[in-house]
Amino acid sequence: MSDDLRDIRPGVESAVAAERLADPVFLVNADPGSVTALLDAASGPAARLASSVYRASTHLHPAVTAGVRRQLLALDAARYGDRELSARITAVPVEDEPAASWGVEWATGSQLDRSVRRIPTAHTDALLAVATAVVDGRPVAVTGGTDRSVRVWDLTTGRQVGQPLAGHTGQVCAVATAVVDGRPVALIGNSDRTVRVWDLTTCEQIGQPLTGHTAAVSAVATTVLDGRPVAVTGSGDVRVWDLTTCEQIGEPLTGHTHAVCAVATAMLDGRPVAVTGSHDETVRVWDLTTCEQIGEPLTGHEEAVRAVATGVVDGRPVAVTGSEDETVRVWDLTTGRQIGRPLTGHDGWVLSVLTTTIDGRPCIVSGGEDWTLQVWDLTTGKQVGEPVNGNTDKVRAVATAVLDGRPHVIAGSQDGMVRVWDLTSGGQVGGPPTGHTGDVNAVATTVVDGRPVAVTGGDGTVRVWDLTTGRQIGLHLTGQDDWVGAVATAVVDGRPVAVAGSHVQVWDLTTCQQISEPLADHEEGVNGVATAVVDGRPVAITGSWDDVRVWDLTVGQQVGEPLTGHIGDVNAVATGVVDGRPLAVTGGSDGTVRVWDLPAGQQVGEPLTGHIGDVNAVATAVVDGRPLAVTGGDDGTVRVWDLTIGDQVGPESVFPLGVCAVAVVPDGRLVVGFGWEVAVLARR
């Protein structure tokens, strides 16, 4: 431990850690041992984030210079989704080092520790309830859990609004919101058998707690009855409350033989109704005007019904229920019959459900014990996209909100965290984008509908990314083998296309549809692919574990003899033009980069050396009139080479994992694939 830390008293250790970890100059220039000594004492969101950023590549920090450490920290800050912190780190001056040449615009975070890639909420235990509202024009979330606290969060900034709503003497089991006399309010169901009403504008409790239940209040919903805002609460029975007078309406609704777990409200034939789910495995519908049950119980679940939501499909009111039997079921409230087959996909209890609209389609979002959110088309019953992963424990509560005109889901889980997910893109808000679940082996760039995009491949998928926002565009391209070793882009008949896969398939990037059969058939899978024009003919150049080949894209046939020279596998291919002649640039497992004259079919000059280990990635570009090659390798470095003089230009960039893919955007930015991650660098 450094001398200036020896005299820190335990009482101020957290404050010192928070101050120093929030200082990018300290993170970059301090001895790594001094920083590491503070990591466990980090407190507050900024310090905890800085601690996570530092830990991401902490194994490399002692062995590198402060300049390289600056680059690694900027990259890891972007991997955690904090572009502002990344920019501040990049701008840190380092003694005897030039200013950073590259800054990180954005990066994915698939390989980061999920326990720290989250939105901190200050809750100290499981979150059991989430609801949303609008306060003073701002969308907010109201959360509660086993730590007995209720907190309000501004969904735009991710910050807590005011102090916790205090005074609860039991676990917070349920949350709902309503508008009473023009004021947004929150209703909180407690294990102390009470319901409390809070004014969300003033954060003050309204009146006395609503009492009468004889067990924990585990469900709350709101609706309007005869023009009055009312609450429907579930416990051992179901009760209805007038929110204007805070008095109970009528007698309790009885019929369930076990505790009520969930409540939702709807309109049925012009009448307000409540739909309840219970441990007795049934779903019941109640007329809130007469306080009587409508029809027979809805049966079919084989375990407790833990979640209920309502919606409308083709003009029919429906209920959606989730159960401990791991299914989601949809019910026609008019006929009392189940619609279609149970929706299966969760590997554990379904603990939360809601209905929403995505791209004009009514959908279900369900969360459960398996830590995932799953999205279903309410009309067809089919799953939409892939399950949303990223939670680190059971998803106990979900709610929806509209942010920037897009539907979002707010999920509370057993780990005490609230996470916000964009339902259109499937990405987490407030955290780095994720996508690939295995190594990113290939990257290429192009323009689709006027947007610069990157195309990445590796884990059996090919994904398209908007380089401006850092978000994935649509779902990944399907139909690939388990391994995607190559990606290139071109324009065919005026359409941007991607050439990708281990056996090279062509995809229309506008429609995301495959448009041809595999181009080439090496004896082994294709590791690299690039496109060029040679003697007026469009060609593809492919590199494999055997050699480099050139293919006429018009007729789909090989041109000339294979290009040989690498000792070992050919891992990457790119093309460029030097002095008017089309060239191919290849990287191999022999650690060399080689340049080939395509019309002559011969190697140009001596191999370019410098990488220690396999060269996995090659791209080309013209910068300030100079033709350049950019290469990445197992040594975790990205190097830039001048193709005219055959020498390296400037210092290499260092990454915490082996570099598997590189591409150059026409505006000069670099797209780098390392491990499972994708990052975009911009010259400063």
- CATH number of the domain that residue 218 is part of: 2.130.10.10
| 95 shares its domain with 198 | no
Domain final residue pick, 100, 116, 147: 100
| 556 shares its domain with 641 | yes
Give which of 267, 216, 208 is closest to 241, Cα–Cα: 208
* Residues 334, 336, 341, 344, CA torsion sign: positive
Q: How many structural domains does the chain have? A: 3
Q: Which residue has the tokens 């993170």?
A: 27
503 occurs within a structural domain: yes
* CA 103 – CA 524 distance, rounded (Å): 38
610 occurs within a structural domain: yes
| 74 shares its domain with 166 | no
| 90 shares its domain with 151 | no
320 occurs within a structural domain: no
Give the HSE-up count for residue 403: Cα atoms under 13 Å, Cβ half-sphere.
24
Task: Give the list of residues 6+ apart from residue 453 with CB closer than 8 angstroms, or none.
Answer: 445, 446, 447, 464, 465, 466, 467, 473, 509
Tokens of 492: 């065919």
Domain final residue pick, 249, 267, 299: 249
**Amino acid 114: pLDDT:** 43
| 88 shares its domain with 179 | no
**Amino acid 412: pLDDT:** 65
Domain final residue pick, 196, 223, 249: 249
**Amino acid 22: pLDDT:** 85
| 565 shares its domain with 656 | yes
Within a 10 A sphere around the Cβ of 445, how many other Cβ atoms? 23
User: What is the DSSP track for 299-354?
Assistant: ---SS-EEEEEEEEETTEEEEEEEETTSEEEEEETTTTEEEEEEEE--SS-EEEEE
375 occurs within a structural domain: no
**Amino acid 125: pLDDT:** 63
189 occurs within a structural domain: yes
105 occurs within a structural domain: no
Query: Which domain covers residue 190, as residue numbers?
Result: 129-249
| 136 shares its domain with 72 | no
Identify the segments of the chain with pLDDT beneath 70.
1-15, 43-45, 110, 113-126, 157-158, 386-404, 410-422, 424-442, 458-459, 470, 474-485, 492, 499-504, 515-525, 546, 553-554, 556
| 489 shares its domain with 570 | yes
| 484 shares its domain with 617 | yes
Task: Give the list of residues 6+ apart from residue 588 with CB closer than 8 angstroms, or none.
Answer: 566, 567, 568, 569, 570, 571, 594, 614, 615
Residue pair 421/649 in contact by the 8 Å Cβ criterion = no
426 occurs within a structural domain: no
| 499 shares its domain with 646 | yes
541 occurs within a structural domain: yes
| 555 shares its domain with 647 | yes
| 89 shares its domain with 137 | no
HEC string of 392-439 equals CCCEEEEEEEEECCEEEEEEEECCCCEEEEECCCCCEECCCCCCCCCC
**Amino acid 258: pLDDT:** 93
